[in-house]
């Protein structure tokens, strides 16, 4: 029998999706499962994007340019300029989702065995993208006690080696919802300039900043044009996860030219996704005002409810629509599976994502879960009650009275 590649064997499974079979079994038993495990918003996709797909006129669904339709890239450039970022369409390469944007970026700037520093916990698929590209992740751990603030620069310095080529951040963060400050970004800027590194910023949640705080793009950082790479996507901004359209933005011409070669190898990004994405740029600002108000309400209900449960710690996120909660349990992986297999409250249970899978360092986050507050407040209140009741009877609850 032929052997599977060592790389394939090293590919991590998704901590978000690995519990799906248990959720399916629970549903077959008639138990309602409240999904807090995946960042699939229930917010409606802008009607202008759906109309563009319905009214698609060409008789052939053809390839686009490998960098994406020029009209779409020009529209994206205008979007960024309206956000105060001076970007031209030539600085933009459209990709098949933010996922491909990251894999193309890694392959364009790094060779087999090169190293990338990523504050953890981080979006779990960064591990998979890095493994696929032959890149070694060097994690630097942020703490739940600090609300997952950027670790000190001295800790970054300890990890930098001749193999280090880039630092990757997600801002606002998935899975933490943490929003980096101007001071934190400036400190990263000085670090990457000092060591001649790339700074990759996954900014797909840029629209979702709360409590009067402002998202700051790495594209705003003076003197970083040749070092900064932005990853973006329509998935979360317009609740269009299935469109599978993202982009890379950088003013480094050599990087963009190299990324284009990888883009040419996969021919082109999805035509329908680009049609929807370009139309979505016409979404009125009121859409985001309403969406942000909704997420803030959901966040406040969830965070207040979780922290009211004895033994639970959950920092208040300032962006995105995720949080990490620490539970009084022996092992969150076992607890998450137990919720689906053996527990229900009023014939309901919840599906959460064990947070250990969002860390690259082993044995960290084993008492933590990630929750995506992408459901209505009624469902979130039920989920809080379910977790509260579950912790009362779960065999592995710590310090249960």
329 and 386: one domain? Answer: yes
31 and 61: one domain? Answer: no
Q: What's the pTM?
A: 0.94
Q: Are 261 and 284 in contact (CB under 8 A)?
A: no
143 and 206: one domain? Answer: yes
Establish if 51 belongs to a structural domain: yes
Using alpha carbons only, give the angle 354, 159, 204 rounded to the nearest 5 degrees: 50
206 and 346: one domain? Answer: no
Structural domain tally of the chain? 2
Establish if 142 belongs to a structural domain: yes
* Alpha carbons within 13 A on the beta-carbon side of 125: 13
340 and 310: one domain? Answer: yes
110 and 204: one domain? Answer: yes
Domain boundary among 280, 300, 330: 280
115 and 256: one domain? Answer: yes
34 and 70: one domain? Answer: no
Percent of residues, the chain, with pLDDT higher than 70:
99
Check pLDDT > 80 for residue 16.
Answer: no
pLDDT band at residue 194, thresholds of 50, 70 and 90? Answer: very high
136 and 154: one domain? Answer: yes
Establish if 401 belongs to a structural domain: no
Establish if 1 belongs to a structural domain: no
Domain boundary among 280, 298, 326: 280
Per mean pLDDT, which range of 35-49, 131-145, 235-249 is the poorest?
Answer: 35-49
120 and 161: one domain? Answer: yes
Domain boundary among 280, 307, 327: 280
If you average pLDDT over residues 280-291, what whole number do you get?
94
* 3-class secondary-structure state, position 249: strand
Environment class of 12 (CB within 10 Å of its CB; exposed 0-12, middle 13-18, buried 19+): middle
CATH of the domain at 205: 3.40.640.10
346 and 224: one domain? Answer: no
Percent of residues, the chain, with pLDDT higher than 90:
90
CA distances from residue 119 to 94, 153, 269, 347 in whole angstroms, order as listed: 26, 11, 29, 39
CATH of the domain at 28: 3.90.1150.10
Task: Name the maximum alpha-carbon separation found in the chain.
Answer: 68
Domain limits for position 243: 47-280
Per mean pLDDT, which range of 7-11, 150-154, 179-183 is the poorest?
Answer: 7-11
The confidence score (pLDDT) of residue 401 equals: 46
137 and 77: one domain? Answer: yes
Establish if 82 belongs to a structural domain: yes
Check pLDDT > 60 for residue 133.
Answer: yes
Quick: pLDDT tens for 362-382.
Answer: 889 999 999 999 999 999 999
């Amino acid at each position: 029998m032929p052997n599977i590649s060592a790389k394939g064997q090293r590919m991590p499974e998704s901590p978000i999706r690995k519990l799906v079979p248990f959720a399916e079994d629970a549903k077959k038993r008639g138990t309602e499962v409240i999904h807090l495990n995946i960042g699939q918003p229930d917010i409606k996709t802008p009607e202008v994007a759906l109309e563009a797909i319905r009214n698609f006129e060409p008789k052939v669904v053809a390839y686009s340019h490998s960098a994406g339709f020029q009209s779409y890239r020009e529209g994206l450039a205008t979007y960024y300029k309206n956000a105060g970022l001076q970007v031209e369409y030539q600085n933009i390469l459209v990709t098949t989702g933010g996922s491909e944007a990251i894999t193309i970026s890694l392959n364009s700037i790094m060779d087999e065995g090169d190293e990338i520093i990523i504050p953890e916990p981080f979006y779990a698929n960064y591990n998979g993208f890095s493994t696929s590209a032959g890149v070694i992740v060097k994690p630097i751990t942020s703490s739940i006690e600090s609300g997952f603030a950027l670790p000190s620069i001295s800790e970054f310095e300890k990890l930098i080696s001749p193999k280090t080529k880039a630092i990757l951040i997600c801002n606002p963060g998935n899975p933490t919802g943490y929003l980096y400050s101007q001071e934190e970004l400036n400190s990263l800027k000085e670090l990457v300039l000092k060591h001649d590194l790339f700074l990759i910023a996954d900014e797909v949640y840029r629209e979702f900043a709360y409590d009067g705080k402002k998202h700051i793009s790495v594209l705003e950082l003076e003197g970083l044009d040749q070092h900064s790479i932005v990853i973006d996507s329509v998935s979360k901004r317009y609740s269009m996860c299935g469109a599978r359209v993202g982009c890379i933005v950088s003013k480094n011409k050599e990087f963009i030219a190299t990324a284009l070669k990888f883009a040419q190898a996969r021919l082109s990004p999805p035509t329908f996704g680009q049609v929807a994405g370009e139309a979505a740029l016409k979404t009125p600002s009121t859409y985001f005002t309403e969406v942000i108000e909704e997420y803030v309400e959901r966040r406040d209900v969830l965070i207040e409810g979780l922290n009211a449960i004895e033994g639970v710690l959950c920092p208040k996120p300032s962006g995105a629509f995720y949080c990490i909660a620490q539970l009084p349990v022996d092992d969150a992986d076992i607890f998450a599976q137990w919720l689906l297999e053996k527990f229900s409250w009023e014939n309901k249970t919840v599906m959460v994502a064990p947070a250990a899978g969002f860390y690259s360092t082993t044995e960290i986050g084993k008492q933590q879960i990630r929750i995506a507050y992408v459901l209505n407040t009624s469902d979130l209140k039920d989920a809080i009650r379910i977790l509260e009741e579950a912790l009362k009877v779960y065999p592995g609850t710590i310090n249960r009275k």
